[in-house]
Structure 1
Amino acid sequence: MAVRQRAIFGSEITYVVLDRHWRVVKPIEEYLEYLRQEKYSPNTVRAYAKGLALWWSMLEDRSLDWKRVDVQELARFKQRMLNRGTDPTVVKMRPAKPAAYSTVDLALTSVLSFYRYQAIVADIPAARQFYMHINGGTAQARSQYASFLGHIKGGQNRRVIGRRRDPKSPPPFLTPRQISVIKDDAAQFDPVAVQWVGDLRLRLFWTLLEETGLRLAEALLLQHGDWQPGTGATALIDIQPREDQRRRLRVKNQQYRRIYVSDALDNLYGEYLFSLVDLGLDIADSDSVFVNLFRGEFGNPVWPETIYDWIKGFRRRHPLLPAKWTPHWFRHSHATALLLAGVPEHVVQRRLGHSDIQTLMTTYAHVTEDAAMRAAADWKTLADRWRAVE
């Protein structure tokens, strides 16, 4: 069967698809290279490579030419995905739970995008013949897989295989009290010793996520030059379009934005800087804000795995908190607090970095309508500590 294989070219981590004989599938590789050159997210390349590997496996199992398929094969692929990789004609003694529709839809999207590329960008003869047909050609010129590429018409993507969405649940969040427990577990200030006890770096990390709503990648990609201390003015952070292939981190949409932060967060950052100097680190503007101090190579940027390993230990120490919380819950908590505190939607949109305000309104539509959420915690007190008005 075809497989998706992780590959490293210099410092770049990417993915290729290998057939059953462990050879690179050339048409898929050309398409993936096109995505890389067009600066698609590495996560998108990885997901599309996975979907195309599953598609190629089905073609190999059925001895089909990728250029000679029809809509029936796409329907079979969809059912095979729902059946978790098993041919839909096979009757299982113990049927597994169907795959999530979001997973199936992503695989279908990768396949349809691949064929669109072959028809329009690569301009292969059969695809070109079909594309001419749907834009005014004759029925006799129709290729054998025209029905399969029926979603390409007039520059629009129109699916010929229906899709379903999983029921959309409200995004999970942490209450102010739960956030305090997480921060205090990382580090607390000892008034007797007049110093921080614990991991001040992680205390800063969680406080930063709480107050800014940054994504994990955005926080770990921060450099000291991005943080503008509030020396006579309001402190701020510049989120730069940046990525790190080795750590599999990338600022989403590669968009710049500016976030103003409170004096309390800025002061905490200053204390963290002093602690780094005390440990003997030379700090430059191009250095990562969050670096290894207790594990890994000292002074090197923190990897996401370090954060998740800490969370595992925290869950053992605090079993009563939500068992499956992740750093992204801080982002949802930030948006929830701002909206419940009455901050205008367009301000929240800019702060979170959503390209479209509709994304914000769709994701958090339940927030302002849920009276019980307003009573769950004093969200306004929490949000008033932040500089959210820009």
Structure 2
Amino acid sequence: MAGLAASVRPLLIGGERSWTVTDTAGLPIVPAERYLAFLRSDDRSPNTVRSYARGLAEWWTVLEASGVAWDGLTRTVFGDFLAYLRTGDLPGVDRIGPVPQRLAPASVANRAAAVLAFYTWAAAALNITQPRQMLYQRSTRRHHSYLPMLTGVVPATDRPAPVFRLRVPNKSRTPLLTPGQVRTILDGCAILDPAGDGWRPNLAGLRDRFLFALLAESGMRLGEALSLRHCDIHIGAGGTPWVEVVPRQDHPHGVRNKSSRGRDIYIGADLEGLYSAYVWELIDAGIDVQVADVANHFVFVNVGGQPLFAPMRAKSVYARVRALTRDHRAALPPDWTPHWLRHTHATALLLAGRPVHVVMRRLGHLDVQTTLSTYGWVTEDAEMRALANWKSYVAGWKGIHDDQPA
């Protein structure tokens, strides 16, 4: 965004990386920074702060081009803002030729949501209410003869709705990986030496195989996996092994657990064996010498670069994703991400006939409706059941029973 009225700049706060919005002179834009400071104090993730900072930077760019003060805006300027997000054309710019698409609808909605949230905060925290009144209107619901059962008992809610309604195309299906594609990902990281001499090619490959296998066979989010400590993985007790997902917000690279509630996830013997092999390789590499308390140290760590055994970054995982995609172009979707493994896990469980409430607990959703909204199409699509090996793929996940906690 060089040369525009505002830009997003990184900064360090208490040793943690965060983001702010600056003007053309490189100085923080005070109202935007106050709101971002509120988000940081509310323990929002660095990714959320960065996303909202981007939206506010683009908003201030349009305000500057329009000559409108941030606390005295009109609906017209917000419409200009949406046009700028979609096309890149600032107010007063006349385009000759076809209009390009600058941002996808989902990105436009994300940037606009940041601005709407900012003015909601300004109304509550600064008592600057005019902008929010301009951007929101009272809901005008039609009256029907039918009345809910609790009408007159529970207070009615009349929440104001944004004047500009942004419609994001509905994705009726979540992106999935087939069992064969999951196998390609795992084998692309590391494979067992046919001569029986352990996993090859190296410790980094074994670590990555364990990470992707864990995501596929537990349904964990990437942030949850990268936040794991060795004490969270319970094996060797004679019963079904399990992973304890503990809500933590202390990863040095800003990785966060999305859920504020913990849960136990039962895993199979294959994943238990893979973790054991990984731990032995870590010990062989000297982690017990360099790390004072291995049990409470991060599971996924640097094993090739420096600093050695430091917590692994999410961007390192995505670098591995890009490398796997490049090496297996014919087998893997070009846009797959680690989160697809979570979707695949949930889909496979539903196809195997697991109850929705069990899948909900395993994924860490707060309610069944979230699970149904995301994966409800699975049980309705008969064609999905024709995919080869779905049930045998799920059968390898030992210890997933309806009568056990998820």
Name the structure 2 match of 1:172.
Answer: 175
Q: Is the 8 A contact 1:209 1:331 kept in 2?
A: yes
Q: Does 1:293 align with 2:293?
A: no
- Please state how far the C-alpha of 1:145 moved relative to its aligned partner: 7.1
The 10-residue stretch of structure 1 (196-205 or 148-157) with the greater mean CA deviation from structure 2: 148-157
Aligned partners of 1:176 and 1:144: how far apart in 2?
51
Deviations 1:58-114 (A, max 9, x none): 111122111111222222222222223533752143421253222121222111111
The 2-side partners of 1:300 and 1:95 are apart by 47
Q: 1:195 aligns with which of 193, 198, 206?
A: 198
Equivalent-residue separation in structure 1 for 2:131 and 2:303 (angstroms): 61
Describe the shift of the 1:55–1:227 C-alpha distance in structure 2 as closer, same or farther (beyond 3 A): same
After superposition, where does 1:120-269 map in structure 2 within 5 Å? 120-124=124-128, 127=129, 146-150=133-137, 156-198=159-201, 199-244=205-250, 246-269=252-275
Deviation at 1:17, TM superposition (A): 1.0
- Tell me the alpha carbon deviations over residues 232-261 of structure 1, each in whole angstroms, 9 at most, x when there is no partner: 222111111123564231111333221111
* Match for residue 44 of structure 1 among 48, 59, 65: 48
TM-score w.r.t. length of structure 2: 0.85
RMSD: 2.3
Secondary structure of the 1:113 match is helix
Q: Which consecutive unaligned segments of at least 5 residues does structure 2 have? A: 141-156
Separation in structure 2 between the aligned mates of residue 85 and residue 47 of structure 1, nearest angstrom: 21
Relative to structure 1, the CA distance from residue 179 to residue 148 in structure 2 (aligned partners, 3 Å threshold; closer, same or farther) is: closer
The residue type equivalent to 1:29 in the other structure is E
* Shift, 1:264, TM fit: 2.0
Task: Give 1:79's aligned amino acid.
Answer: A
> For residues 68 and 316 of structure 1, do their structure 2 counterparts lie closer, same or farther at Cα, with a shift above 3 Å needed?
closer
Q: Which amino acid aligns with 1:120?
A: A
Partner of 1:365: 376
Q: Determine the C-alpha separation between the residues in 1 that align with 2:260 and 2:294.
A: 23
From 320, 334, 337, the counterpart of 1:326: 337
Q: Amino acid of the residue matched to residue 321 of structure 2?
A: I
- 8 Å CA contact 2:6, 2:61 repeated in 1: yes
Worse-superposed segment, 334-343 or 214-223: 214-223
In structure 2, do the counterparts of structure 1 residues 63 and 42 end up closer, same or farther at CA, with 3 Å as the change threshold? same
SS in 1 for 2:224: helix
Q: Against the structure 1 CA distance between its residues 267 and 4, is the aligned structure 2 distance closer, same or farther, given a 3 Å change threshold?
A: same
How far apart are 1:41 and its partner, in Å? 2.4
The reply to whether residue 380 of structure 1 matches residue 391 of structure 2 is yes
Q: Post-superposition shift, 1:268?
A: 1.8
Give the letter for the 1:335 counterpart: A
| 1:196 partner letter | W
Quote the Cα distance in structure 2 between the aligned partners of 1:368 and 1:61. 51
8 Å Cα contact 2:223-2:257 kept in structure 1: yes
Aligned AA for 2:196?
Answer: A
Q: How far is 1:226 from its partner? A: 1.0
Conserved 8 A contact 2:287-2:294:
no
1:140 paired residue number: none
Cα distance change of structure 1 residues 331 and 25 upon mapping to structure 2, 3 Å threshold? same
1: distance between equivalents of 2:92 and 2:366? 40
1:216 Cα deviation after fit:
1.5
Measured against aligned partners, the alpha-carbon deviations of 1:240-294 in whole angstroms (never above 9, x if no partner) come to 1123564231111333221111122112211211111112221612211112222
Partner letter of residue 319 of structure 2?
A: D
Identical columns (%): 36
Q: State the match for 2:112 in structure 1.
A: 108
Could you tell me which runs of 5 or more consecutive residues in structure 1 were left unpaired when the two chains were aligned. Answer: 128-142
Contact 2:10 2:19 in 1 (8 A): yes
Q: CA contact under 8 A between 1:238 and 1:257: conserved in structure 2? A: yes
Partners of 2:335 and 2:163 in 1: CA distance = 37
TM-score (norm 1): 0.89
- Cα distance in 2 for partners of 1:264, 1:146 equals 58
How far 1:10 moved relative to its partner? Answer: 2.9
SS in 2 for 1:17: strand
- How far did 1:316 drift? 3.1
User: Quick one: distance in 2 between partners of 1:230 and 1:200?
Assistant: 20
Contact 2:119 2:132 in 1 (8 A): no
Of stretches 149-158 and 183-192 in structure 1, the one that deviates more from structure 2 is: 149-158
Alpha-carbon shift at residue 358 of structure 1 (Å): 1.6
SS of the residue corresponding to residue 265 of structure 2 reads strand
- Is 1:275 the counterpart of 2:286? The answer is no
Secondary structure of 1:225 counterpart: helix
Task: Give 1:221 deviation, angstroms.
Answer: 1.4
